[in-house]
Amino acid sequence: MHDKISLKEKIGYGLGDAASSMFWKIFSMYLLFFYTDVFGLAPAVVGTMFLITRIWDSCFDPIVGILADRTKSKWGKFRPYLLWVAIPFAVIGVLTFYTPDFDEKGKIIYAYVTYSLMMMIYSLINVPYASLLGVMSSDRKERNTLSSYRMVFAFGGSLLALWLIEPLVNYFGGNLNSKSGWLATIAVFGLITTIFFWACFLFTKERIKPIADEQNNLKEDLKDLWKNRPWWILLGAGIGALVFNSIRDGAAVYYFKYYVSSAVNFDFSLFGSDFHMTPTSIYLVLGQAANIIGVIIATPIANKIGKKKTFFGAMAVAAILSLVFYLFGKEDVFLIMSFQVLISICAGCIFPLIWSMYADSADYSEWKQGRRATGLVFSASSMSQKFGWTIGGAGAGWLLGYFGFQANVEQTATAQNGIQLMLSILPAIAAAISVAFIAFYPLSEEKLQIIEQDLNEKRDQN
C-alpha cells in the first residue's frame, strides 16, 4: 500500500487510457458526422439514438462496478478486465463503423445495436480501469501523479487518433465519405488499443485492500454512496464539464466543413506515403496538444493551491473564453486556432483532477462509513461522465436538426449561426454550471490529509 509507484507502472497505467481515449475521441468528434454524412442518417435520428443508447450504457456502468468489486482472481479485482475485454473492444469498434447495404430502417437498427454493444463493452473495460486508480496507492500526491499520467496518455492517444484519422481514411478510401476508408482505419486503431490494454494489465499492480471485508452487501454499498456528499457534488461538476466538451467536440467537424470552409491543408509523409491534414484536423490536434499541457500543469497547481481551486479556476476561464469565441468570423482562422488552444488547456486541467477527486470521495466514504466500494464509486462516476456526454452528444444532433442542418449541402445562415453557438455560447453555459457545483465541494486538502492519516493507521493495524 505504501510502495512507491515506479515509472514503468505509471506509464503502464497511462497506456490503458490512451487505448480507450482513441475510440472515445473518435466517437466524440466523428461519429455524429459518420452517421449523417457517410451512413446517411438524419441528425435528429442520431441524436435520439445517442440519448437512448447512452442512458442505458450509463445505467450499465454501476452494474460493471458492482461486478468488479466482487471479482476475485489472482490478478486482483480490476486488472483482469483489461486482459479479457481488449479484443471484444476492438472488434465491436470496427463493427460500429461498418456500413451494411440496408434500407433506412435497417441502418437505424444496425446503428442502435452496434453502438449499444460498443458502449457496453467500453464500460466493461473502462470502469475497472478507472477503478484501478483507487487501489494502486493511498497517497494523495501519488494519485494526482497517476491521474496526470493517465490524462497525458489519454490526450496523447486522442492526439494520435485525431492526427491520423482523416489522413488514414483518405489513404484507405480516397475521401472522408469513404465507407471502406473508415472501416480499415478503425481496424488499425483496434489493433493499437488491444496492445495498449494488455500492456496496462501487465505493468500495473493492485495494492489497497478494504479495511472491512463487507463487499457482498450491495444495499449498504448503495446506501454509503447515497450519503457521500462530495461524490454528489463531483457528479454535477463532472456532468457540466462533459456537456461542455461534448457539444464542442460534436460540432467541430461541422464548424469547419460548413462554416469556416478553409482550403488550407498541411501535408506530411508517413511510412513513405503522402498525407494531408485539413483545417479540421489541425484544429482538433491543437486542442489535444493543449489538453496535454493542461494535464501537465494541473498537478503542480493543484498540489500548491488545491484541487478545488484549480478546477474552479480552469472551468471559469474556459466559460469566459468560450463566450468570446462566438465573436469570431469565418475568416478569423488564427484567432479560432489560438482560442482553441487556450480553451483546451483549461479543459485539460480538470480531467486529472476530477478522477483523483473521485478516489478521494471513495476514501471519504470508507473513512465515514467504515466500508469501501471502489468499483461502485468509480462506476457511478463513470455513469455521470457518460450522462454528461449523452446530454452533449444527443443535444448536438438535436441542435443541428433544430437549426435546419442538411448533410453535404451549403448551409443556411441560421444553420451556420447555430453551429457557431455550439462552439461558444452553449458550452459556456455548461462550464458555468460545472463551476457552480464545484464551489460547494467540501473536501479541502487539510481534510483529506486527516482522512488519509486515519485510514492508513487503520490499515496498518489490520
DSSP conformation class of 204: -
pLDDT surpassing 90 at residue 292: no
Question: Using one digit for the tens of pLDDT, what is the confidence trace for 54-77?
Answer: 778 777 888 888 888 888 888 989
pLDDT surpassing 90 at residue 401: no
Is residue 303 situated within a structural domain? yes
Spatial CB neighbours of 31, under 8 Å, sequence gap ≥ 6: 96, 115
CB of 112 closer than 8 Å to CB of 145: no
Torsion of CA 178, 420, 353, 60, to 10 degrees: -50
Which residues lie across from 43 on neighbouring strands?
A: none
**pLDDT on residue 214:** 47
Q: Do 274 and 364 have their domain in common?
A: yes
Question: Using one digit for the tens of pLDDT, what is the confidence trace for 110-125?
Answer: 999 999 999 899 989 9
From CA 261, how far away is CA 276, in angstroms rounded?
16
Residue 397 in grid coordinates: 444532433
Q: Do 336 and 240 have their domain in common?
A: yes
3-class DSSP assignment, residue 405: coil
Is residue 166 situated within a structural domain? yes
Q: Do 198 and 284 have their domain in common?
A: no
CB of 279 closer than 8 Å to CB of 287: no
**pLDDT on residue 396:** 79
CA 370 to chain centre: 31
Determine the structural domain holding residue 94 and report its residue range.
1-206
**pLDDT on residue 222:** 73
> How many structural domains compose the chain?
2
Average pLDDT over residues 93-113: 93
Examine the fold and report which residue of 181, 206, 231 is the final residue of a domain before the chain moves on: 206
Q: Do 138 and 171 have their domain in common?
A: yes
Average pLDDT over residues 147-176: 87
Q: Show the CA angle centred on residue 21, arms to residues 89 and 7, nearest 5°.
A: 105
CA 210 to chain centre: 28
CB of 72 closer than 8 Å to CB of 215: no
pLDDT surpassing 80 at residue 393: no
DSSP 175-194: STT-HHHHHHHHHHHHHHHH
Is residue 211 situated within a structural domain? no
CB of 43 closer than 8 Å to CB of 181: no
Q: Do 224 and 364 have their domain in common?
A: yes
From CA 246, how far away is CA 394, in angstroms rounded?
9
Is residue 44 situated within a structural domain? yes
Q: Do 179 and 283 have their domain in common?
A: no
Q: How confident is the model at residue 462 (pLDDT cuts 50, 70, 90)?
A: low
State the CATH number of the domain containing residue 105: 1.20.1250.20
CA 66 to chain centre: 21
Q: Do 133 and 270 have their domain in common?
A: no
Residue 223 in grid coordinates: 446506501
Examine the fold and report which residue of 153, 177, 206 is the final residue of a domain before the chain moves on: 206
**pLDDT on residue 12:** 95
Specify the higher pLDDT residue, 216 or 198: 198
Query: Quick one: 298 exposed, middle or buried, by C-beta within 10 A (0-12, 13-18, 19+)?
Result: buried
Is residue 298 situated within a structural domain? yes
pLDDT surpassing 70 at residue 272: no
Rg (CA), the chain: 21
Q: Do 8 and 137 have their domain in common?
A: yes
Average pLDDT over residues 156-176: 88
What is the pTM for the complete model shown?
Answer: 0.69
Q: Do 143 and 181 have their domain in common?
A: yes
CA 91 to chain centre: 20
From CA 62, how far away is CA 52, in angstroms rounded?
17
User: What is each CA distance from 233 to 134, 382, 391, 462, in whole angstroms?
Assistant: 19, 14, 18, 32
User: What is each CA distance from 179 to 169, 170, 183, 341, in whole angstroms?
Assistant: 9, 10, 6, 31
Per mean pLDDT, which range of 131-140, 274-283, 319-328, 403-412 is the poorest?
A: 274-283
3-class DSSP assignment, residue 274: strand
Q: Do 267 and 379 have their domain in common?
A: yes
Examine the fold and report which residue of 153, 188, 206 is the final residue of a domain before the chain moves on: 206
Q: Do 184 and 234 have their domain in common?
A: no
User: What is each CA distance from 442 to 55, 81, 225, 373, in whole angstroms?
Assistant: 29, 33, 16, 20
Q: How confident is the model at residue 264 (pLDDT cuts 50, 70, 90)?
A: low
Specify the higher pLDDT residue, 298 or 382: 298
Average pLDDT over residues 78-88: 95
Q: How confident is the model at residue 315 (pLDDT cuts 50, 70, 90)?
A: very high
Q: Do 87 and 37 have their domain in common?
A: yes
**pLDDT on residue 1:** 45
**pLDDT on residue 188:** 96
Spatial CB neighbours of 461, under 8 Å, sequence gap ≥ 6: none
Specify the higher pLDDT residue, 261 or 454: 454
Is residue 16 situated within a structural domain? yes
From CA 48, how far away is CA 46, in angstroms rounded?
5
Average pLDDT over residues 411-439: 92
3-class DSSP assignment, residue 429: helix
Q: What is the mean pLDDT of the chain?
A: 85
pLDDT surpassing 70 at residue 215: no
Task: Read off φ and ψ for residue 381, nearest 5 degrees.
Answer: -70, -45
Specify the higher pLDDT residue, 134 or 35: 35
Task: Provide the percentage of residues in the chain whose pLDDT is more than 90.
Answer: 37
Per mean pLDDT, which range of 12-26, 218-232, 378-392, 409-423 is the poorest?
A: 378-392
